[in-house]
C-alpha cells in the first residue's frame, strides 16, 4: 500500500503549482519577446537615431507623427508619416522621397504602401527592430542607436 505523509503531499502540490505558474507565464502574450518593456519603447517615439543599412549609415529624425530617414543629410531622404499603434509598434507611410538611389518602381511601391516597425528589444543606447512591408513578404531586422553627434546645418 502506498502512503504519503503530509509533508510529501505539500511538496508535490508546491511543485505542481510552480509548474502551472511557469506554463501560464510562457503562454501569456504580454510576456512575448516582441512586446518586452513596452514603457521603454515610448522613449523612441521622438529623437535622432542612426543605423547601418545596405547603402550606408542612415540618420533618422523622428517626432511622434513624422519620421525622416536621411541617407545623405540633408539632401537624400524619405519622409514618412508615423502612427503609433501601440508603444512598440508603428505604421509608416512614405509621403515624400528625395533620393536618387531608389528606382521609380521602388518609389512607387513605397508611396503606395505602408510598413510596420516592431521594436523587439530595448537597450540603454537604442533598440532592435523588425520591419514588415505591406506589399511584400520581406522582413528586415536591425538595431538602431541614439545619434549622439550634431547634425550639419541644412
Q: What percent of the chain has pLDDT over 90?
A: 63
C-alpha cell at 50: 542612426
Model pLDDT, residue 20: 45
pLDDT exceeds cutoff 60 at 10 = no
Closest CA to 43 of 93, 87, 91: 87
**Strand spans (E) along 36-114:** 47-53, 56-62, 66-72, 76-86, 89-98
Model pLDDT, residue 39: 79
Q: How crowded is the C-beta side of 78, counted as CA atoms within 13 Å?
A: 18
Give me the CATH code for the 34-146 domain, please.
2.40.128
Question: Which residues, listed in sequence order, are joined to residue 79 by a DSSP beta bridge?
Answer: 68, 96
CA-CA distance, 145 to 51, in Å (whole number)? 6
In order of 66, 131, 144, the CA distances from 90 in angstroms are 11, 10, 15
Considering the chain, what is the average pLDDT of its residues? 83
Model confidence band, residue 137 (pLDDT cutoffs 50, 70, 90) = confident
Higher pLDDT, 24 or 38: 38
Question: Per-residue pLDDT tens for 47-95?
Answer: 999 999 988 999 999 999 999 999 999 999 999 999 999 999 999 999 9
CA 48, 53, 56 angle in degrees (round to 5)? 85
Amino acid at each position: 500500500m502506498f502512503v504519503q505523509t503530509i509533508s510529501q503531499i505539500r511538496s508535490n502540490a508546491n511543485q505542481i503549482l510552480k509548474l502551472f505558474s511557469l506554463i501560464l507565464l510562457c503562454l501569456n502574450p504580454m510576456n512575448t519577446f516582441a512586446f518586452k518593456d513596452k514603457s521603454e519603447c515610448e522613449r523612441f517615439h521622438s529623437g535622432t537615431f542612426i543605423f547601418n543599412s545596405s547603402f550606408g549609415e542612415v540618420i533618422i529624425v523622428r517626432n511622434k507623427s513624422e519620421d525622416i530617414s536621411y541617407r545623405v543629410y540633408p539632401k537624400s531622404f524619405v519622409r514618412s508619416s508615423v502612427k503609433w499603434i501601440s508603444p512598440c509598434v508603428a505604421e509608416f507611410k512614405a509621403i515624400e522621397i528625395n533620393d536618387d538611389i531608389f528606382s521609380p518602381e521602388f518609389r512607387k511601391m513605397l508611396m503606395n504602401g505602408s510598413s510596420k516597425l516592431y521594436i523587439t528589444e530595448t537597450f540603454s543606447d537604442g533598440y532592435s527592430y523588425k520591419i514588415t512591408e505591406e506589399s511584400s513578404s520581406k522582413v528586415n531586422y536591425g538595431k538602431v542607436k541614439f545619434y549622439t553627434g550634431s547634425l550639419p546645418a541644412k
